[in-house]
Amino acid sequence: MSSVFLDSFQLIVAVYLLFIAIRGDGQMFHFNNLTKEQQAQVRTKLRILYAAGGLFAAIDFALSALRTSMFTEATAADGTVSLVQKFTIDGIPFLNDYTFLSRASTVFTVLLVITLFGIVIWLVRLGKKNQ
């Protein structure tokens, strides 16, 4: 599986989360274990959390796509693999560092996962209060 596919998937996730955050309606806002009043109360918080998740996914996509397009692997005759930088960004020098791009991408992926799992856990706990 190439990193371009994963980058594209991350972009799809970002667009979808931002779309449902802006729209504010749909299956991502309806939960059978919550009353109608609770669903109305959590709607604004969910929109904010979905927007944050979409932003995290979009930033992760941008960093991953930049890393993929900026760096390539080269294999030498002796079998060693090294990174070759295709271009640099003069105005923002820290973006020229492969390690920084990788770590920052990982941080935003973790933030996205924590946000989405946090939403699920929060809604499950809220639904259990009804029982």
Q: 68 lies in which domain range? A: 3-128
DSSP one-letter code for 26: S
Give how many domains the chain has, as a whole number: 1
Does the pLDDT of residue 114 top 70, yes or no?
yes
**Each residue's pLDDT tens digit, 47-97:** 999 999 999 999 999 988 888 877 777 676 677 766 666 666 778 777 777
Give the pLDDT of residue 1. Answer: 41
Give me the mean pLDDT over the 110-115 stretch. Answer: 96
More confident residue, 46 or 34: 46
How far apart CA 34 and CA 130 sit, in angstroms, is: 7
pTM, two decimals, is 0.83
Percent of the chain at pLDDT exceeding 70 = 85
